[in-house]
């Protein structure tokens, strides 16, 4: 059954830790609407129908939304003449019954939009978020941060190589430079962004740690309205292979918000199990993904964390096994169940299946490095 969305009710999505501009959310907060390429839609379609082990770790795919000029006006704050008849945007449901993974690799047309990796100088860090894609095609996905009271979000950009075969030489050079100077090159991942709730009090511990990088760039800022500390893409670039674990500690251990070592141990254990699941899925799959991410989300309000853990720990509930987001029969029951954590692979604009080419070792390097760091943290929190 097709979903109907009133474009005038869509609002900017504000829980993204990284990524491109232009992401929207519906009034319920359950969906995100993201500008995308046809290649990303094709990847979601095939993964959903043919690769269940991978799809279990992807946001639930709801379909696509073709935004007309009138829809774009409605969501950009510009005045829009009233339509002749009341209308709603219709979400095209996912295609089902796809049988073959032998899909031709497609790449979005290259362009030299100002501010993109293809046009910036090698030393220009560019905007803190990627520019909104110039497209009317949008993908509709589950909002992974929905049903959390205060979601803490970490985006880990995977891969030492960050560009696909369709990238221009200028973009390749720029992204190779970023990789060589960060943990992307040494570990196969880097922290691309974080959003961490700082508690009810307007006091932020450690706010002055790593405030500026060597070139004076601001790495994070406090949203005084929400009391979220937002770490931008430059924050992850200050770390090396030896100290990047400190970034994970900032994310997982927030005592002034009620997330102490006990909570950090529990959530690290859950994330570790899921990331190992992602590793197993990728090792069994022949694919190529560039600039995809692991998205980690957990309940950042200590009181809500404990309440959710208590409910999910009762007999009959499985707190150590995240609910199956793809089981439609359990949707109604899950609507009232508090969320404790979520682990997802995201961002498939440069992803394709690659029969005969073997597993994606570029992605797997970062996943395996993440497993090692989570194992080290688990041992520390268990002391």
Write out pLDDT tens, residues 117-163: 444 555 665 554 545 566 778 999 999 999 999 999 999 999 999 99
Q: Over the range 68-104, which residues count as b (16 or more CB within 10 Å of their CB) and which as e?
A: eeebebbbeeeebeeeeeeeebebeebeeeeeebebe
pLDDT at 87: 40
Determine the pLDDT at residue 134: 62
Mind listing the pLDDT tens digit for each residue in 65-74?
876 533 443 3
What confidence score (pLDDT) does residue 252 get? 98
What letter would DSSP give residue 104?
P
Domain spans, the chain: 3-142, 151-381
pLDDT at residue number 10: 75
Note the Cα 51 to chain centre separation in Å.
20
Which stretches in the chain have pLDDT values below 70?
1-8, 13-21, 67-134, 202-215, 318-335
Q: Which of 102, 381, 103 shows the shortest CA–CA distance to 251?
A: 381
Which residues lie below 8 Å from residue 371, measured CB to CB, with a gap of 6+?
A: 272, 275, 276, 279
CATH class, domain 151-381, is alpha beta
pTM of the model as a whole: 0.79
**Cβ within 8 Å of residue 54, ≥6 positions away:** 47, 281, 282, 285, 345
């Amino acid at each position: 059954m097709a979903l109907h969305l009133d474009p005038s009710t869509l609002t900017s999505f504000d829980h993204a830790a990284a990524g491109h501009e232009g992401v929207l959310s519906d009034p319920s907060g359950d969906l995100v609407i993201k500008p995308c390429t046809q290649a990303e839609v094709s990847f979601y379609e095939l993964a959903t129908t043919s690769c269940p082990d991978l799809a279990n770790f992807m946001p639930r795919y709801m379909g696509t939304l073709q935004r007309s000029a009138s829809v774009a006006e409605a969501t950009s704050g510009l005045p829009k003449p009233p339509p002749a008849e009341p209308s709603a945007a219709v979400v095209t449901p996912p295609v089902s019954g796809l049988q073959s993974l032998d899909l031709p690799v497609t790449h979005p047309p290259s362009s030299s939009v100002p501010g993109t990796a293809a046009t910036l100088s090698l030393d220009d860090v560019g905007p803190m978020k990627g520019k909104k894609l110039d497209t009317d095609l949008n993908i509709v996905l589950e909002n992974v941060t929905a049903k959390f009271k205060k979601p803490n979000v970490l985006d880990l950009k995977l891969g030492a190589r960050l560009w696909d075969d369709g990238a221009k030489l200028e973009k390749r050079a720029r992204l190779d430079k970023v990789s060589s100077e960060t943990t992307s090159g040494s570990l196969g991942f880097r922290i691309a962004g974080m959003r961490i709730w700082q508690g009810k009090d307007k006091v932020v511990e450690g706010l002055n740690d790593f405030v500026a990088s060597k070139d004076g760039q601001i790495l994070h800022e406090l949203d005084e309205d929400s009391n979220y500390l937002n770490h931008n893409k430059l924050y992850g670039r200050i770390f090396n292979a030896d100290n990047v674990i400190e970034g994970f500690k900032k994310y997982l251990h927030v005592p002034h918000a009620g997330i102490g070592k006990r909570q950090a141990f529990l959530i690290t254990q859950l994330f570790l199990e899921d990331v190992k699941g992602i590793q197993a899925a990728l090792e069994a799959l022949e694919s190529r993904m560039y600039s995809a991410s692991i998205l980690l989300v957990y309940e950042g309000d200590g009181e809500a964390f404990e309440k959710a853990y208590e409910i999910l720990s009762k007999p009959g509930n499985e707190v150590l096994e995240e609910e199956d987001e793809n089981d439609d029969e359990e949707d109604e029951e899950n609507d009232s169940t508090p969320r404790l954590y979520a682990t997802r692979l995201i961002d498939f604009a440069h992803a394709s299946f690659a029969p005969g080419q073997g597993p994606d070792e570029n992605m797997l390097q970062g996943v395996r490095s993440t497993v090692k760091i989570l194992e080290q943290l688990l041992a520390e929190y268990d002391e």
